[in-house]
Structure 1
Amino acid sequence: MAVYSIGFGAAAPMYVLRALELGVSAGPAGVIVALTGLGMVLADLPAGRIVERIGERGAIAVGSAVGMMGVVAAIFAPNIGVLAAGMLLIGASGAVWGLARQSYLVAVVPPGDRGRAMSLLAGASRFGLFCGPFLGAVPVHVMGPDGALWLQLGATGLSAAAMLSIRAIDGEYSASDTQPLHTVVLENRRLLGTWGSAALVVGAARSARLALLPLWAAHVGVSAATTSLIFGVAGAMDVLMSYPAGVWLDRYGRRATGVPAMVLFAVGYAILPLTSSALAVAASAAVLGVANGLSNGLIMTVGADVAPDGRRAEFLGAWRLTHDLGSFVGPTAVGVMSAVAVLGASAVTLSLTSVLGAAAMQRWFPGVPEPPKSARV
């Protein structure tokens, strides 16, 4: 997972710059980046069915092939339409990867250790996101934004080969269930509409950084290579919080972890419009990195807590849909607001939204490691 994330971490801040290279303005560039989130949203429910049918390894093979096609499309895109299609494919690949790794851990890790397990899994991903911008700075300096995309292409192929070497869980998946995909959403609609609203805000706060920080950095005159290094600094904060966040999840509960994380997101976005130098932008990015690190494994752990045994992978696909819908909405809002208002308005809006997310977690997330059975619907 770390290798896969190295590639994505190197490329993520460069997709905005790739869009700018193709002649679009800041607003449409943010929307293009948001298409990664849309690809995840469209693939979440099918990803659950894929994992149920062919297991984690088969799902990873399919997702990796789709992701590599998306990266190739982005590298050679002659226009913004081809780049948009590539972003959709990359997002779909991420949905399959995320669902397969989460489903595996739910099956093999005891409930009392889930917070640490999920946070360490997220930490491996964050470690890759941390290393990615630093490793990507060199090819970006030599080749421009495409250098990081080439790194992502190679990392995706290598990580797929590593995952395919892991032995599948015997008897874990079955093709006998033929119920329509939408039934899992209907059966759990109350939980997805309440707890899921908090997951949506987390997804928006996390993913909006990938669009807003590079746009703001470019706005204040920070170079592409320096922007990559800023993402690396934020990634360091993220990685350092991974294991402590897991311990906090298991010891004090989901609410006690999620609420402070969302408050830090609110602070990080609130101070971004006040920055005007690379150092100040890095400080804002570091606060957002701490917030992201504190929320490591949070949404995966909560989903694991309430996933029904009979249709676990498909439920987790629906649960991830709430988070990934936020991953689409966040950068989309940045792009739309940047097109019709000043760029700083996006940061203020995200700050206020993060406060609402903290309130939703305070209202619905459990205060103890094991959620009450009455929470299941």
Structure 2
Amino acid sequence: MTSENTQKPLTFGKQLASVYLPTMIYEIGIGAVTPVIPLTALHLHANAAIAAFIVALLGIGQVVGDIPAGHLATRLGDRKAMLYGAAVTIVLLIMCAFAPNWEIFALGIFVLGMVNALFVLARQAYLTEVTPPMKRSLALSMLGGMTRIGSLIGPFFGGAVMSIFAMNVAGKAQDWLPGAFWTAVVLTIVTWIVVFAVPEIATPKTEAQVKAAQVSSGFILRKNAKMFMTLGLAIVLVGAVRQTSNTALPLWSAHIGLSASVTSYVYGLSGLLDALLFYPAGRMMDRFGRLWVAIPSMVILGGSILLIPFTHGVWSIAIVSLAMGLGNSIGAGMIMTISADMAPSDYRAQFLATCRMFGDTGSAAGPLLVAAGAEVGFLAGGIWLLGAFGLLAAVILGTTLEKYSIHANQRTRLAHGLTKRGRPIEK
């Protein structure tokens, strides 16, 4: 378990400028791109199975990039990691916009996932370090909320640009798919400017501190083997279920004949509730414990995914996407918070990177299951399997979290000498 933080908490203004604002702008760009990844792959003559696999490459890239991201975030610091990552992201987005075939496009998406891992981890590790445990859920839920706001706004930005610059092909208007990537390019440039304008506010680490904080992933896995075999499996399942909206919604929308722009709007609806409830969810986790949010989140999200194959038009799939957004929204930041609760202060960034590797493994596996279903002509089967994963994640979290997190609920807090709100009992 991690020790209590002694560092003075940041004001909300400093958190907004250094963490939340650049995260939101960056994620708006990613949100504009995400729903058109499978559609662009199809446009580049990939079949449905390959298109789903290319979406999976975004998650696979994050898995590959998680451990290096932990070392880079420790060595470079938050601000430099973000600046370097933004610059590389711009190049990759331009590469995807000009991709002549799906092979080059797939490479760009894979490396984009690696860079995205650096962005996310740097912010998570920083907030974990500077936020007291009794306020940690709210801080990390707000970080997750910025991602969700980006997921909400981004598809509408991308959809609008694709519609405005639609091209006439054989007498029929066709959405301009590269417009989503150029939207992301502009927003990533803005992200770079914002990060550059805000000075690094973290306490600089000495060379000795940086060296001491770097441990191998093998050491972390051995030291926490029981936890990763149980709670780690739940993290994998949560990652797989959350990634479903990135793959299943666009592919099922295409399956029932919706256009690219309408698909972007439907995907954006999934982020509508997703971007609204992260604040009360964070407050609830801080007040009552992590399980009060983790279990309902997975039950609602998993259950709504099971309904996707029963939709046959824009209204039915829109309703299901709203339900998915609700389940995902109340779980904003829950895995980041649970990981932070368990992270040792000595090598926090590397531990969080290992936890993210588990979640990102699930994110990569989820689209692969959808791709397998599409390959055998049973797209609905892959979607139903992921919905079941959500319900299984709820069961594992409910039966194992109390063993590893002091803040699982109020009972575990009292058992470890804290108040019900997670504060130390004054003597």
Band the TM-score falls in, shorter-chain normalisation: over 0.9
Aligned to 1:358: 394
Determine if contact 1:204/1:329 at 8 Å carries over to the other structure.
Answer: yes
Give me the whole-angstrom Cα distance separating, in 2, the residues matched to 1:59 and 1:193.
Answer: 31
Give, in angstroms, the shift of residue 134 of structure 1. 1.3
Superposition TM-score, scaled by structure 2 size? 0.84
Give me the whole-angstrom Cα distance separating, in 1, the residues matched to 2:58 and 2:90.
Answer: 14
Q: What residue ranges of structure 1 are gaps of 5+ in the alignment? A: none
Give, in angstroms, the shift of residue 129 of structure 1. 1.2
| Bigger mean CA deviation after superposition, 204-213 or 156-165 | 156-165
Match for 1:82: what amino acid? Answer: I
Pick from 236, 243, 247: which aligns with 2:272?
236
Aligned to 1:151: 183
Give me the whole-angstrom Cα distance separating, in 1, the residues matched to 2:146 and 2:128.
Answer: 17
| Bigger mean CA deviation after superposition, 137-146 or 237-246 | 137-146
Give, in angstroms, the shift of residue 172 of structure 1. 4.2
Aligned to 2:44: 22
Determine if contact 1:49/1:181 at 8 Å carries over to the other structure.
Answer: no
Which is richer in helix?
1
Aligned to 2:63: 41
Summarize deviations over 1:328-357 as a string: whole Å, max 9, x none: 011111112211131111221111111111
Pick from 376, 379, 395: which aligns with 1:340?
376
Instruction: Please show how residues 294-373 of structure 1 align to structure 2 within 5 Å.
Output: 294-366=330-402, 367-368=408-409
Pick from 110, 130, 144: which aligns with 1:88?
110
Higher radius of gyration, 1 or 2: 2
Aligned to 2:203: 170
Give, in angstroms, the shift of residue 82 of structure 1. 0.7
Give, in angstroms, the shift of residue 181 of structure 1. 4.0
Aligned to 1:136: 158
Give me the whole-angstrom Cα distance separating, in 2, the residues matched to 1:45 and 1:154.
Answer: 29
Tell me the secondary structure at the aligned position of residue 99 of structure 1: helix
Give me the whole-angstrom Cα distance separating, in 1, the residues matched to 2:185 and 2:111.
Answer: 13
Give me the whole-angstrom Cα distance separating, in 1, the residues matched to 2:295 and 2:139.
Answer: 20
Give, in angstroms, the shift of residue 187 of structure 1. 2.3
Give me the whole-angstrom Cα distance separating, in 1, the residues matched to 2:133 and 2:35.
Answer: 36
Summarize deviations over 1:44-88 as a string: whole Å, max 9, x none: 011001111111111112222332232122111111111111111
Aligned to 1:274: 310
Q: 1:259 to 1:10 in 2, by over 3 A?
A: same
Determine if contact 1:131/1:232 at 8 Å carries over to the other structure.
Answer: yes
Give me the whole-angstrom Cα distance separating, in 2, the residues matched to 1:342 and 1:132.
Answer: 30
Give me the whole-angstrom Cα distance separating, in 2, the residues matched to 1:149 and 1:322.
Answer: 28
Tell me the secondary structure at the aligned position of residue 240 of structure 1: coil
Q: 1:212 to 1:157 in 2, by over 3 A?
A: same
Aligned to 2:53: 31
Give, in angstroms, the shift of residue 185 of structure 1. 2.6
Match for 1:368: what amino acid? Answer: N
Give me the whole-angstrom Cα distance separating, in 1, the residues matched to 2:377 and 2:325.
Answer: 26
Give me the whole-angstrom Cα distance separating, in 2, the residues matched to 1:350 and 1:251.
Answer: 30
Give me the whole-angstrom Cα distance separating, in 2, the residues matched to 1:321 and 1:267.
Answer: 25
Match for 1:48: what amino acid? Answer: G
| Bigger mean CA deviation after superposition, 60-69 or 144-153 | 60-69
Aligned to 1:115: 137
Instruction: Please show how residues 140-289 of structure 1 align to structure 2 within 5 Å.
Output: 140-141=162-163, 142-143=165-166, 144-164=176-196, 165-172=198-205, 174-177=209-212, 179-289=215-325
Give me the whole-angstrom Cα distance separating, in 1, the residues matched to 2:199 and 2:271.
Answer: 27
Give me the whole-angstrom Cα distance separating, in 2, the residues matched to 1:70 and 1:189.
Answer: 36
Superposition TM-score, scaled by structure 1 size? 0.95
Give, in angstroms, the shift of residue 199 of structure 1. 1.1
Aligned residue pairs: how many? 373
Determine if contact 2:234/2:397 at 8 Å carries over to the other structure.
Answer: yes
Match for 2:112: what amino acid? Answer: I
Determine if contact 1:66/1:89 at 8 Å carries over to the other structure.
Answer: no
Summarize deviations over 1:292-346 as a string: whole Å, max 9, x none: 1011010110011010011011111001111111110111111122111311112
| Bigger mean CA deviation after superposition, 36-45 or 335-344 | 335-344
Pick from 84, 90, 93: which aligns with 1:68?
90
Match for 1:161: what amino acid? Answer: I
Give, in angstroms, the shift of residue 179 of structure 1. 4.0
Determine if contact 1:66/1:93 at 8 Å carries over to the other structure.
Answer: yes
Summarize deviations over 1:221-256 as a string: whole Å, max 9, x none: 111111111122221110111111101211221122
Over 6 Å off, 4+ runs: 369-373
Determine if contact 2:309/2:380 at 8 Å carries over to the other structure.
Answer: yes
Answer yes or no: is 1:104 the counterpart of 2:140. Answer: no
| Larger relative contact order (Cα-Cα within 8 Å, sequence gap ≥ 6) | 1
Give, in angstroms, the shift of residue 214 of structure 1. 0.4
Give me the whole-angstrom Cα distance separating, in 2, the residues matched to 1:277 and 1:23.
Answer: 25
Match for 2:409: what amino acid? Answer: V
Give, in angstroms, the shift of residue 123 of structure 1. 0.9
